[in-house]
């Protein structure tokens, strides 16, 4: 994982557990609660699971090609700080419609090729009929099926493709007030889908105060920081966030222990610390990461008590 992008995403044990949790919410059509401290990778895992960066970057109205890859059936949504039931409903529906348009792309691609062929057929027929048909006394007959009939057939196929959304992930769920939570519950109740709310520790206790909502919760998942062994593996592979380049020399045990102690398994802190280490190495013309460099980098960051 990286704090900047999902392009250098690292699949960790916590991410795999998050995937299993989301798959269960989708399969059983339950509401799930995922909570954890800031910076441990909840949002990154959610974006990776939904392929949301790719979804947002792809033209859903592209008709001359079909998007290749997994079927997109999961929404990632962050409510605005100031939200209302109307805003929640409109924005989630907009995202669901986007996935619906992707699901219709193969039909639009087929229609584009089919209608192009029909159009060429009609043009060739008209050109030939101008010389062989008495078009002055009677109209040139249309070939069957007509262009309009074929177009209507493809349009009917598009309409038959329903909403592919089977799971909605709502990040920063702590922002939702009672009315907005009720709107999210209404969306869940109206469709045969799963729902995951992602937020800070205490989210599960807050939901317990809303019996109608809490009774629909089937799974609760705590997203925890990386363990020591995973941190050691990550550092031994010379992982660094996107845009950060560090020396490839292996870290000694003391330096590795210092990084683990400072970051506490928090991805966001790890990314910031490694970026600061790179800056210090460049300024001081150093070619090795040591415990002293780690401690110096820590002094420049707000990382809490070590």
Tell me, what's the pLDDT at 40? 93
82-96, 108-122, 195-209, 222-236: least confidently modelled range: 108-122
Tell me, what's the pLDDT at 306? 43
Q: Does residue 243 share a domain with residue 94?
A: no
Position of tokens 């019996």? 211
Q: Does position 1 have pLDDT exceeding 50, yes or no?
A: no
- Residue 116: CB partners within 8 Å, gap ≥ 6? none
By percentage, how much of the chain surpasses pLDDT 90? 60
Other Cβ atoms less than 10 A from the Cβ of 50: the count is: 22
Tell me, what's the pLDDT at 257? 95
Query: What's the rounded mean pLDDT across residues 155-161?
Result: 84
Does residue 306 sit within a domain? no
Nearest residue to 273 via CA among 305, 231, 301: 301
Domain count along the chain: 2
Q: Does residue 269 share a domain with residue 164?
A: no
Domain boundary among 224, 256, 286: 224
Q: Confidence band (pLDDT; 50, 70, 90) for 302?
A: low
Q: Does residue 165 share a domain with residue 55?
A: yes
Average pLDDT over the chain, rounded to whole? Answer: 88
Domain boundary among 164, 199, 224: 224
Render pLDDT for 168-191 as a digit per residue (tens, 0 to 9).
Answer: 999 999 999 999 999 999 999 998
Helix (H) or strand (E) holding 77: strand 74-77
Does residue 80 sit within a domain? yes
Q: Are 200 and 38 in contact (CB under 8 A)?
A: yes
Q: Does residue 235 share a domain with residue 261?
A: yes
Residues of the domain holding 24? 1-224
> pTM of the entire structure?
0.84
Q: CATH code at 254?
A: 1.10.8
Q: Does residue 26 share a domain with residue 129?
A: yes
Q: Does position 153 have pLDDT exceeding 90, yes or no?
A: no
Render pLDDT for 224-237 as a digit per residue (tens, 0 to 9).
Answer: 999 999 999 999 99
Tell me, what's the pLDDT at 134? 67
Q: Omega into 284 within 30° of 0, i.e. cis?
A: no
Q: Does residue 236 share a domain with residue 119?
A: no
Q: Does residue 218 share a domain with residue 289?
A: no
Burial group, residue 36, by CB count within 10 angstroms (0-12, 13-18, 19+): buried
Q: Does residue 174 share a domain with residue 285?
A: no
Q: CATH code at 59?
A: 3.40.50.300
C-alpha 47/C-alpha 83 separation (Å) is 21
188-192, 210-214, 270-274: least confidently modelled range: 210-214
Does residue 304 sit within a domain? no
Q: Does position 156 have pLDDT exceeding 60, yes or no?
A: yes
Query: What's the rounded mean pLDDT across residues 215-231?
Result: 93
């Amino acid at each position: 994982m990286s704090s900047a992008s999902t392009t250098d995403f690292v699949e960790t044990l916590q991410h795999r557990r998050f995937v299993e949790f989301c798959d269960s919410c989708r399969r059983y059509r339950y509401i799930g609660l995922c909570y954890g401290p800031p910076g441990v990778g909840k949002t990154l895992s959610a974006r990776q699971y939904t392929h949301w960066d790719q979804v947002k970057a792809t033209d859903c109205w592209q008709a001359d090609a079909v998007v290749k890859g997994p079927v997109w059936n999961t929404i990632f949504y962050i409510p605005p700080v100031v939200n209302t039931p109307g805003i929640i409903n409109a924005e989630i529906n907009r995202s669901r419609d986007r996935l619906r348009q992707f699901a219709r792309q193969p039909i639009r691609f087929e229609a584009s090729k089919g209608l192009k062929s029909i159009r060429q057929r009609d043009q060739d027929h008209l050109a030939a009929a101008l010389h062989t048909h008495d078009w002055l006394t009677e109209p040139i007959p249309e070939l069957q099926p007509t262009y309009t009939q074929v177009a209507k057939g493809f349009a009917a196929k598009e309409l038959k493709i329903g909403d592919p959304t089977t799971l909605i992930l709502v990040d920063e769920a702590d922002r939702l007030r009672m009315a907005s939570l009720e709107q999210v519950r209404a969306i869940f109740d109206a469709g045969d889908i799963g729902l995951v709310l992602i937020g800070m520790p205490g989210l599960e206790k807050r939901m317990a105060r809303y019996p109608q909502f809490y009774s629909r919760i089937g799974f609760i998942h705590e997203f925890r920081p990386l363990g020591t062994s995973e941190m050691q593996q990550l550092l031994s592979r010379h992982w660094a966030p996107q845009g950060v380049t560090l020396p490839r020399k292996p870290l000694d045990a003391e330096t590795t222990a210092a990084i683990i102690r400072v970051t506490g398994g928090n991805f966001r802190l790890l990314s910031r610390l490694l970026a600061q280490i790179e800056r210090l190495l460049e300024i001081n013309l150093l070619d090795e990461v040591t415990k002293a460099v780690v401690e110096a980098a820590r002094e420049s960051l707000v990382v809490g008590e070590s």
